[in-house]
Amino acid sequence: MIKVALLGHGVVGTGVVEVIKNKAEQLFEQTGEHIEVKSILVRHDYDVDYKEKFVYSFDEIVNDEEISIVVEAIGGTDPAYNYVKSSLLAGKSVVTSNKELVAKHGFELMNIAEEKNINFIFEAAVGGAIPVIHGVRNCLKANNVHSIAGILNGTTNYILTKMIDEKQSFDIALKAAQELGYAEADPSADVDGIDTCRKICILADIIYGNHILPENVHTEGIRNVRIEDVDILKMVGGAIKLLGVAKAVDDDKMFIMTAPHVVFNQGILYAANDVFNAAQLETDNAGLMAFYGRGAGSLPTASAVVNDIVECVCADGTLYPAWGQEKPELVADYKEVPMQFYVNVAENAEKVEEIFPTAEIIYIKETTAFITEKITENQLTEKLTGFTVNSVLRVL
């Protein structure tokens, strides 16, 4: 019998209890062990039919020698970081869906797990149900990954989809996402790109081998996305998506960023709507590949958490070595990496053609919208001196 403790009993925690209960037989067949949720750390008492599992002090879990796996589903870093670290130091493997914790403290916590020959794993922290972490960790060993671009936040993808397809206001769409259990407790983490940034950092840590701290990554959210640009882009087969992007650039540097991007109507990043997440990778041997699925919600997230529990049960020691320590100098200056931009200005097409002779003009009316050739952001800013700029978006 494997005894598991849950820290937290919110959207993710309740889903984990349900999946372990509903899949008991299947999990036994896969592991040869009965998996039981023994204790659930909660702050208050309330009615559920397994209330006898509730405990109110973390000490009851960390000191319980029967518990070999701790699932952290509290979110945030305080008190999650101390609880997870103490659990690992006590020799208990930890499974978490907490992207903030992994993005900030993953290097240290993975090292503790390695020293103890146990596991600290976190598939559900990126892409909810989608096995993107397993994919990049386990299945691309014969490849170099040139780039990864992902829709990694269900809430913002849901909001953008509702704004684009149903002309819903930002506030109404956000409220619906909160009611569906997709949004963070503080939705600023979703709409300001912070959550996506944490997730692209975790993927970049795995792919490129060194810890990247979110505070070193340029991050923009979706608050300034204008419906005028959504409509213009729709006419030419484009959509605005909040992407986390990472790619290797010259001299061992990495370009990494979170920002709304224009994507055109080929491929998974254009097609992924609502709460769905998607990640697209360019690799040398495997070529282009994609992951797609539900990026948030109780059962999809629990699906990934419970799979990680199964991995811990079946593991003979640490499954995945820690990535390397943080090196801020690995992150390239994003303003110096060439890319295409969508620009909307108040000036007429003649003026645009004069300054941007190679640009593709896609809209001429009360404003002019165009797509530049590949240039750096510093070059773009210089060329736009004297223009009245309504918006600038990066094009994937």
Nearer to ligand HSE, 190 or 377 (CB): 190
CB 345 within 8 A of CB 352: yes
Closest by CA position to 337, among listed 375, 382, 394, 371: 375
DSSP 330: G
Retrieve residue 255's tokens.
């370009």
CB 149 within 8 A of CB 127: no
Residue whose token pair is 């990640």: 279
Bridge-based pairing of strands 253-264 and 238-249 is antiparallel
Per CB under 6 A, does 128 bind ligand HSE? yes
Residue placing its CB nearer to ligand HSE in the complex, 68 or 153: 153
Closest to ligand HSE by CB, 97 vs 119, is 97
Nearer to ligand HSE, 197 or 359 (CB): 197
Binding-residue pattern over the window 179 to 198 for ligand HSE, x denoting contact by CB under 6 A: ---xxx-----x----x---
Query: What's the helix, strand, coil split of the chain in %, to 5?
Result: 40, 25, 35
Q: Which residue is nearest to ligand HSE (CB)?
A: 155
Stretch binding ligand HSE (CB under 6 A), from 28-36, 153-161, 340-348, 370-378: 153-161
Under DSSP, the state recorded for 329 is G
Give the Å distances, CA to CA, from 391 to 161, 227, 372. Answer: 20, 11, 13
Closest to ligand HSE by CB, 58 vs 291, is 291
237 Cβ contact list (under 8 Å, min separation 6):
264, 265
**Stretch of 72-80, 176-184, 248-256, 355-363 contacting ligand HSE, by CB under 6 A:** 176-184
Choose the binding region for ligand HSE from 136-144, 151-159, 342-350, 387-395 (rule: CB under 6 A): 151-159
CB of 74 to ligand HSE, least distance (A): 14
Q: Does 258 bind ligand HSE (CB under 6 A)?
A: no
The secondary structure of residue 214, as a DSSP letter, is G
Closest approach, Cβ 150 to ligand HSE, in A, equals 11
Between 136 and 313, CB nearer to ligand HSE: 136
Among 8, 154, 193, 300, binds ligand HSE (CB under 6 A): 154
Report which residue type is found at 345: V
- How many residues sit close enough to ligand HSE to count as binding (CB under 6 A)? 11
Q: Does residue 20 contact residue 35 with C-beta atoms inside 8 Å?
A: yes
- Min dist. Cβ of residue 196 to ligand HSE (A): 8
In the block, which residue shows the tokens 């992150």?
A: 331
Q: Could you say which DSSP state residue 139 is in?
A: S
155 lies in the site for ligand HSE, by CB under 6 A: yes
In three-state secondary structure terms, 55 is strand
What is the smallest separation between the CB atom of 381 and ligand HSE, expressed in angstroms?
A: 31
In the complex, the smallest distance separating the C-beta of residue 56 from ligand HSE, rounded to whole angstroms, is 26
CA distance 29 to 313: 12
Which residue is catalytic, options 92, 199, 241, 247?
Answer: 199
- Give the interface segment with ligand HSE, choosing from 48-56, 82-90, 149-157, 258-266 (CB under 6 A): 149-157
Asked if 199 is an active-site residue, the reply is: yes
Choice between 39 and 298, CB closer to ligand HSE:
298
Residues 293-322 that bind ligand HSE (CB under 6 A): 295-296
Site residues for ligand HSE, 277-296, by CB under 6 A, read 295-296
CA distances (Å), origin 192, targets 151, 222, 225, 243, 311: 14, 6, 11, 12, 34
Residue 281: Cβ within 10 Å count? 24
Residues involved in catalysis? 199
**Which residues in this chain contact ligand HSE in the complex, by CB under 6 A?**
128, 153-155, 182-184, 190, 195, 295-296
